[in-house]
Amino acid sequence: MEKILDGIYRPQDLKRLTMHELEQLALEIRQLIIDTVSKTGGHLASNLGTIELTIALHYCLNMPDDIILWDVGHQAYTHKILTERKNDFPTLRQPGGLSGFPDINESPVYDYFTVGHSSTSISWALGLACSRDLLKKAVKSKIAAVIGDASLANGMAFEALNHTGHLNKNLIVILNDNELSISPSIGALSNYLNRIATSPVYNRIRYDVEKLLKRVPWFGFRTLRAAKRLERALKNLLVPGMLFEELGFRYFGPISGQNIPAMVSTFQRVAELDEPVLVHVLTKKGKGYEHAENFPSKYHSAGKFEVCSGTMDCATGQTFTEVFGDKLLELAQKNDKIVAVTAAMPGGTGLEEFGEKFPERFFDTGIAEEHAVGFAAGLARGGFKPFVAIYSTFLQRGFDQIIHDVCLQKLPVVFALDRAGVVPDDGPTHNGVFDIAYLRLIPNIVIMAPSDKEEFERMLTLAASLKPPCAIRYPKACVPEFPHEKSDAFIPLGKSRLLRRGKDVAVFALGSMVATALQAAELLMRNDIYAEVIDARFVKPLDIEMIQEKAAVFKAIVTIEDGVISGGFGSAVCEYLQNNVKNPPPVRILGLPDEFLKHGKRDGILDSCGLSAVKIAGSIKLFLEAVS
């Protein structure tokens, strides 16, 4: 039997379908997403919840003339399927395949922005609306921003809402509410009110009455104000959208995000309004797949899984995230001043058990990284020791707060930067490759990176005792195992450690690159090149004694890091040598290039950037030949 999806390639193809066919299409897309993500991994629960919403939006709007912006973008799989990428969908998140997020390079016609961070969509939508109006085109494109309830809590979203209401621009915000039960008014009364409020007749009469009253001297404006106050009072009693109304939006909802006819009816009428509109849609994460419905957090960013049982592939070996969670719990049991802060990622950062054991000392700020950092500063000033666990790429959003609220005040906040370096599968918006560079320039902060489990645990112990702010960066990966002598129980601040003796070149490796550097040294030895390998441990403060010692002995120095070369660890070593050592040896910096890296497997991306053991060995060999 031929599927409806077989004949759908672009949004215009939806226009010929009946409501019943659209509902059948949703079932077919749901199965395609489940089957694909079970093989590739990806964001499952959020995408299953927005299938009907996406179909209804594309049915009512006219892309690419109209514009749909997806906040965060981890719910845009259906959008990709409906916008000429259906046949490529099996390549989702695979090297060279479709990105798991909207990507302007992948589809400049349908993906207006590359997006993977939250709370950006309304700002973008308002900018596009102002650009549209300045161009004064005869036909105005419709612009819709789809934002989740969690993303709406971020300050940037509220700033954009406030500005949009102030400018009174014609755009549509779709609030995709998949967790909060804001109001019990969903049902017959709410549907009735929405039908009235979106009716063209109602809005034409409303506009005509306003226009007429404004013509009446003195009493007309007073009557109009009284009428609007009455309307607001009634809405406050009957619908939950007064906050948005006060910000200058017309509010409609809530409506079911799985009810295509209801959404189509609302979107079609809303599209005729010439003002800021917010439509509140209630969706269910994981809709249509029992395992994802029951465990939406587990299937938010899912690995490969078996469809029938829901059994998910698990990584072998302990991850850095697990080591962090276990060690922080141990430290907190001994020190009641330790508190944990995260920004909507308790599971992803390994803090779930901490929250269960110490609920009064665990704080989840939601998607509000700026607030999380400022909040941690307040906790520290109040006498506590906050460990702030945020993905490296998301901590960028709190950059000013790190400088002003924490480091300027010299407060003992610990930043645990999970997903530092190359992050598998998620691409440029999620790679944590800038943290060394953007933290190194800030005074008063300590920056370190562990190479293995024991080092990580010792660094966390050190961090718990430090008075200045500090950051510990670590990758989304299993903890490596490599032979070396055990270190002392405590790590001296700013001290590296020698792991392997050599005579031809000194290699300073940082964090996750240490194990790879040792592998490269083994390969070099086959060519009678003997590399001395140092685990740098610290980016700031540098171990200047070790650097001076090796600069005096070796004819060449190599640094290796899984961060951008510009402003990174290698740059710090070069700056020190050039400014403090007479006739320093030449230095080769191995790191990530000055570009946004595409999605792929971590090992594959590192290899393409010259950071596999084989590529590092080859680079060192050529470097030594050039300087000899």
Name 44's Cβ contacts closer than 8 Å, sequence gap at least 6: 33, 34, 37, 286, 289, 292, 299, 300, 302
For 47, 343, 417, 543, the CA distances from 395, given in Å and listed in that order, are 25, 9, 8, 26
Which residue, 408, 402, 409, is CA-closest to 370? 402
Catalytic residue among 284, 287, 397, 550: 397
Amino acid letter at 341? V
Identify whether 369 is a catalytic site residue: yes
Q: Is 285 a catalytic residue?
A: yes
Angle at the Cα of 347 (from 345 to 350), degrees rounded to 5? 105
Residue 374 structure tokens? 């400022």
- CA distance readout (Å), 570 to 134, 540, 562, 563, 611: 47, 12, 11, 10, 14
Taking Cα atoms as reference points, which of 510, 507, 506, 501 lies closest to residue 472? 510
Strand pairing class (531-535; 497-500): antiparallel
Q: Hunting for tokens 């009284």 — which residue is that?
A: 226
> Residue 253: helix, strand or coil by DSSP?
strand
d(CA 3, CA 6): 5
Return the residue matching tokens 């709190």.
Answer: 398
Q: Give the whole-angstrom CA distance, residue 224 versus residue 111.
A: 42
SS3 of 353-366: HHHHHCHHHEEECC
- At 260, list the tokens: 């295509």
The single residue of 369, 455, 532, 561 carrying the catalytic annotation is 369
> DSSP letters along 332-394, please?
HHH-TTEEEEESS-TTTTT-HHHHHH-GGGEEE--S-HHHHHHHHHHHHHTT-EEEEEEEHHH
Q: Which helix (H) or strand (E) holds 251?
A: strand 250-256
- Annotated catalytic residue: which of 30, 80, 250, 285? 285
Q: Which amino acids are annotated catalytic?
A: 285, 369, 397
